[in-house]
Amino acid sequence: MSIPIIVGNWKMHKTIAEAVAFVKALEQRLIPEDRACLAVPFTALRACATHALRSRIGAQNMSDAAQGPFTGEISAPMLLEAGAQFVLLGHSERRHLFAEDEGLIRRKLERAIHQGIQPILCVGELLEQRRAGQTEAVVVRQLESALGELTDPGSLMIAYEPVWAIGTGETASCAQAVEMHQLIRRYLSRWNRPVPILYGGSVRPDNAAALLNESEVNGLLVGGASLELDSFLSIVEQGRRG
Ligand code: PGA
């Protein structure tokens, strides 16, 4: 079994100094096989990338435009120049708190691929959608709207993150995660190329192993538990047991 990809998503946490201290300490404890990634605040990208040797550093969001009069936005070339290797797109907090719609997420994804920054497309249903039996339809619609026109997935990764599990302490069961990963994999099979599928939503050191045990789960997207070095490392280390 290949080593899973563990992506920390720091959201709006950590100053540059805090971020650098974390990355330096992390690097001391990673082994060459580890596939640890950190999605850090824009301000910390350059400094983290400078200190990252085994880990990969990325961003949490990106504009769909290459440049222009878009106050407060940041472009793919700027991220690449700052040392970002990947970018999260369509995270549920972007979709729901910042009203990013499916058209915008599709344009961001196309832009990321065009500019050569690896996209991690996040998809997932709301609790009311799951209760209404719409989970599969919602996720397929999110995939189709973002990826429907894509001829080559390149280095694309998908993160399945049920919105009701993000930051709530409530994780999807392994069976729920596997069912959705299978659905997503069937959708992705059109390209005949492996696209890693990560699970995210209240992943912690005490539930990571069970999720990673599932061959459908190629990695994890970790929010809250990525903020402390020991809990993030514990999850990375559990990925080594494959
Ligand atoms: P969480 O966040 O692990 O704190 O639930 C996951 C995410 O938002 O990517």
pLDDT 10s digits, 23-70: 999 999 999 999 999 999 999 999 999 999 999 999 999 999 999 999
The answer to whether 211 and 180 are in contact (CB under 8 A) is: no
pLDDT averaged over every residue in the chain: 96
What are 158's two structure tokens?
């998908």
pLDDT of residue 242: 58
Is 161 tagged catalytic? yes
CA distance 37 to 227: 13
Number of helical H runs and strand E runs in the chain = 10, 8
pLDDT cut 90: percent of the chain above it: 94
69 CA from centroid of ligand 1 (Å): 32
- Give the residue, out of 166, 168, 202, with the most ligand 1 atoms within 8 A of its beta carbon, to mutate for a pocket test: 166
Task: Give pLDDT, residue 192.
Answer: 87
Tokens, residue 33: 């096989």
Q: Is 27 a catalytic residue?
A: no
Amino acid at 84: A
Determine which helix (DSSP H) or strand (DSSP E) holds 198, and give its type and residue range: strand 197-200
46-60, 169-183, 224-238: least confidently modelled range:
169-183
pLDDT surpasses 90 at 2 = no
CA distance 148 to 171: 29
* Best residue among 222, 226, 228, 232 to mutate for probing ligand 1, ranked by most atoms within 8 Å of CB: 222
Strands (E), the chain: 5-9, 35-39, 56-59, 86-89, 118-123, 157-160, 197-200, 219-222
Average pLDDT (196-208) is: 96
Whole-angstrom distance, CA of residue 6 vs CA of residue 3: 9
- Answer yes or no: are the C-beta atoms of 5 and 35 closer than 8 Å: yes
pTM over 0.95: yes
* Ligand 1 center from residue 26 Cα (angstroms): 20
| pLDDT of 80 above 90 | yes
* Alpha carbon distance 225, 236 (integer Å): 11
Structure tokens at 135: 């989970």
CA distance 23 to 8: 12
The predicted-structure confidence for 8-31, as pLDDT tens digits, reads as follows 999 999 999 999 999 999 999 999
Give the closest residue (by CA) to ligand 1 atom 9: 223
Model confidence at 211, pLDDT cuts 50, 70, 90, reads very high
Q: Looking at the predicted structure, is the pLDDT value of residue 1 above 70?
A: no
pLDDT of residue 223: 97
Per-residue pLDDT, averaged over 123-143, amounts to: 96
User: Does residue 167 have a pLDDT over 90?
Assistant: no
In the structure encoding, which two tokens stand for residue 151, read together? 């001829």
Q: Per DSSP, what are the bridge partners of residue 86?
A: 58, 118
Q: How far is CA 95 from CA 98, 118, 119, 182, 227, in A?
A: 6, 19, 16, 23, 22
Calculate how far, in angstroms, residue 202's C-alpha sits from the geometric centre of ligand 1.
6
What radius of gyration do the chain's Cα atoms show? 17
Task: Give me the pLDDT at residue 16, please.
Answer: 98
pLDDT of residue 18: 98
Tell how far the Cα of 140 is from the centroid of ligand 1, in angstroms. 21
Which residue of the set 51, 91, 93, 125 is catalytic? 91
State yes or no: pLDDT of 73 exceeds 80. Answer: yes
Residue of 93, 100, 125, 161 with catalytic role: 161
- pLDDT value of residue 130: 94
C-alpha 163: how far from its chain's center? 14
Atom of ligand 1 nearest to the CA of 122: 9
Average pLDDT score over residue span 107-112? 97
- Cα 50 to middle of ligand 1, angstroms: 25
Distance (Å, whole) CA 97 – CA 90: 11
Contact predicate 48/23, CB 8 Å: yes
